[in-house]
Amino acid sequence: MIRLVAVTAVVGGIALLSTAVSALSTSDSTAPSGAVAEAATHRTVSALQDKLRRTPSDAGAWAALGSAYVEQARITGDPSYYAKARGALDTSVRHQPEGNGFASIGLGALANARHDFAAGLEHASRARESLPDTAEVYGVLADALTQLGLAGEATAAVQRMLDLEPGVPSFTRAAYDLEQRGDVAGAREAFERALGAAAAAADVVFCRYRLGELAFDRGDLDEALAQYEQGLVVDPRDVMLLRGKAKVTFARGSVDEASRLFAELVRRRPLPELVHEYANLLRAAGGDAAPQFAVLERQFALVPDDLAASVVAADRGDAASALRLAEAEWGRRRHVLVADAVAWALHLNGRHEEALAFADRAVSSGWRNAVFLYHRGMILAALGRSAEAVAVLDETLQINPHFSFVDAPRARATLEGLR
């Protein structure tokens, strides 16, 4: 069996992004998205609706429909699907109140999608009681445990999922788990393994995107672009692959073209992570980012997300809100993404000693995340620990000199000043 604890000994390098912290999505780095995935999910929903017209008391079909609606919400960014998902899942439970593991899986996925990871864990644990040998249970369980900061338990859940069903969903979660523990090579091999197991076009597109992101996050623009373009052969309109190409375009100096590409992507699909990235691109280029931040404010009013809202508040220069939101999220979960957000917000509020403790916690997992290191380096500089700040900022830019439209140039300028 594939063992996460013996990453380099099995399957040529493997036995839960990931994307940079500035990307707002914190729980979707293990699932495909885009036009192909949306079309496939739409077909699934239509087929289940047809089935339920014939057999309206089928609890399993209602549970499957609820889970499909969760996917539609995630892929499209339309929160109205969450209400549909809840309605379908509640109907499933009404038809089968006891031992309805598939409804519990759907309810757990819905809670995770809404970033209520404690509820996600509760539903997944209930699903495990009735479906202890079903791989999907451990996917929902791993997602919740990961975001709650329970890394060891999350790894065990991923391993159980791999043991039960070594396919695309389990390999992609293994990749995310490995990346967060600093094993970039293992994560890459896990995604390559997922790609080899992919039969659906949406899975191929997603694996190419994540392989591109892994390459971009280590500063390899050529490899990143090659992966994005191979994915675009399968789905030429996939917004995340096109987003990747736009990032490479910016990194290579074509700022106007990158801005045009992002504007088109946001027009087509205003997902929060795309809107946020476009806002930061405009900031870097000296443009007006206020309209994009206004869109994000409206999105957070519809679907609250304290971690994402904290990152956005920090980028807007609202240090007080950034700290309030980050601390609220920290009260709910202790993931390293949240630790980093708290660290940066404390720093922006001038509380550098406290910030360093959280920055240390953010890097404690070994995740080679350039954003984490940038924040830690800037905090060290603010504390007057210049030699340490130089070493950390230098490592940041060695990992990925293009990690942020706004902050990568600031890292270089600060490093030059300290030297």
* C-alpha closest to that of 356 among 342, 337, 370: 342
Residue 415 has pLDDT above 60, yes or no: yes
CATH 1.10.10.60 at 305-419, yes or no: no
State whether residue 12 is helix, strand or coil: coil
What pTM was computed for the model? Answer: 0.88
Predicted pLDDT at 11: 32
Q: Give the residue with greater pLDDT, 199 vs 5.
A: 199
- CA 285, 290, 295, 299 torsion-angle sign: positive
Residues 382 and 355: their CA atoms lie apart, in Å, by: 10
Average pLDDT over residues 65-70: 96
Residue 386 has pLDDT above 70, yes or no: yes
User: 180 and 189 in contact (C-beta within 8 Å)?
Assistant: no
Predicted pLDDT at 34: 64
Residues 245 and 42: their CA atoms lie apart, in Å, by: 27
Predicted pLDDT at 28: 55
Residues 178 and 299: their CA atoms lie apart, in Å, by: 31
Q: What angle do CA 107, 111, 117 make, to 5 degrees?
A: 130
Task: Give me the residue label for tokens 């603010």.
Answer: 382
Give the whole-number percent of the chain exceeding pLDDT 70.
Answer: 92
Q: How many angstroms separate the first and last alpha carbons of the chain?
A: 50
- Name every residue whose Cβ is closer than 8 Å to that of residue 223 and which is 6 or more positions away in sequence: 212, 215
What are 333-374's pLDDT values in tens digits?
999 999 999 999 999 999 999 999 999 999 999 999 999 999
Residues 117 and 79: their CA atoms lie apart, in Å, by: 17
User: 216 and 404 in contact (C-beta within 8 Å)?
Assistant: no
Which of 27-41, 179-193, 195-209, 263-277 has the least mean pLDDT? 27-41
Residue 7 has pLDDT above 80, yes or no: no
Q: For the chain, where do the domains classified as CATH 1.25.40.10 start and end?
A: 4-251, 305-419
Give helix then strand counts, H and E, for the chain: 22, 0
Residue 31 has pLDDT above 90, yes or no: no
Residues 303 and 243: their CA atoms lie apart, in Å, by: 23
Predicted pLDDT at 39: 85
DSSP collapsed to 3 states, 256-292: HHHHHHHHHHHHHCCCHHHHHHHHHHHHHHCCCCHHH
User: 305 and 24 in contact (C-beta within 8 Å)?
Assistant: yes
Q: What is the mean pLDDT of the chain?
A: 92
Please tell me the total number of residues recorded for the chain in this structure. Answer: 419
- CA 155, 158, 164, 166 torsion-angle sign: negative
Residues 220 and 243: their CA atoms lie apart, in Å, by: 16
CATH superfamily placement of domain 4-251 = Tetratricopeptide repeat domain (1.25.40.10)
Rounded to the nearest 5°, which phi and psi values hold at 5? -80, -5
Residue 16 has pLDDT above 80, yes or no: no
Residue 1 has pLDDT above 80, yes or no: no
